[in-house]
Structure 1
Amino acid sequence: MVTPPDPAVLYPDIATQGSLGVALQAVAEEGGFSVPVTASASDPLRYAAVESTLPHRRALLVSSSAIERRWRIRGEESFQGMPLIVGDTDDLAQVARAAQAWLDGVPLSDIRQVAPFVHLTGRFEVPDHDPVRLTESEWQGMRTEASAREQPGYHALVEAAYAEPALRGLYPFTSHWALRFSTTTGPWMSTVGPCLLADDVDRYTVSAGFTGSGLIAQATTAQEAVAAAVRHLPSGLGPVTSGADLAENRRELSS
């Protein structure tokens, strides 16, 4: 096993300034703007965070690679903690520009214009946490992620599931590479229906368990797999509800 270099060796300029937070603030000031940054108490050379003026955004997380001189960002929405933007770059000034845009509440698409290294996950912001809109956002995030993977079978499966209204109305998520569905959004989900797995571009498995247990059907096309899954959905499913409501109900039952 190769031991990663000491952060002070990989980032001597950061070490000189005492923390990634201080260094990021200094780079921002050099660019003519100000970004309040909080450095990690446990690992100040490698981690920092920048709050947003928007309550539906969590603090932007900034981290330094342990292997090469490079920085990563992750900006999450506040309700489920799902990423809205991610990215990595070797230019700390680019990170500072992305951090300022996140802080100022700049729209997601405009953040990418300010800092081109930023990658949009496909999810969109839902300030009121409406469960139907959160479901739409998660589908867009899943489709964006699937299109970027070098796994055409998985991409075909996600697109086929999205094209089916009965599944598109459910909240999608993955578990052990299996496509699954919930009648509630995150952070507390209520799983419903079968699991769909793309074994290959022309081999799909529909099962009751995400490990492939409880085999329901095997198919040669994504559309056939989706059709089999729909046939095994319970009847009477209504619109997706909030995972926060489910969590509250569970607390009441346990109290």
Structure 2
Amino acid sequence: MQICKTPVDLQALKAQNIGFVPTMGALHAGHLSLIERARAENDFVIVSIFVNPTQFGANEDFSTYPHPLEKDLELCAKAGVGAVFTPQADSLYPFKEAISLNPPKDLLGFEADLRPGHFNGVLQVVLKLFNLVRPTKAYFGQKDAQQLLIIQRMVQDLFLPVEIVPCPILRDFDGLALSSRNVYLSPEQRQLALKIPKALNTIHEAYKAGITQGTNLLALGQEILSPLEVQYLSLVNRQLIPLEHIEPNNSLILVAVRVGTTRLLDNLWL
């Protein structure tokens, strides 16, 4: 496995049919599932490990975000990754003022409202990484649903020669969606956080039983989540337009909850 620390190192790689998994490190089984799929569908896999400063707000956890780089590199090597890109911020942002991208207004709201500028930073770094890696396919988890939809739009709008491959949410033994931020949770907070998958499962079961009205489904979820700080629980379509009823194969239940000081995202694709 090659370790590339600079854009020059990365661009020197001679590989075709590249599967790319962009990450911020602190790798878990969810990341490894993306790597496994990338390996199955491509000749060569590149993983990036970079905690991108431009997508963090002033009061967010950039300075405390976990950085277990040696452990991450070991996991990548065991998973059969061909190369890992581990840049420093100044190599990806060589100018004092970087060119920025604005996410499309019709895909804003939710995380964009709660984290102003977040998706500008996401698009900025993802476009840089795509230009450096030149992947055939890039793999993103569906847990960050709004991010996935915005990146798909960027690829379509800018005619980027890469296929975005959405991958299912992977959950821990207790049902909690895997996230690098789960390490912030105390044992007591983790038990509270389990209300999130319970609420989504309850909504899903109600939908399968024939309930399609959004207000009824969301009320079931709110009842379970009520002890927690719910930042949003919403029914939208794949264009993030609010829905009154489930549209099969075009609906999303989005949820963001704060447990202690930790924000957790989850969703249900219907």
**TM-score, with structure 1 as normaliser:** 0.32
> Greater CA radius of gyration, 1 or 2?
1
Of structures 1 and 2, the one scoring higher in RCO (CA 8 A, sep 6+) is 2
**TM-score, with structure 2 as normaliser:** 0.30
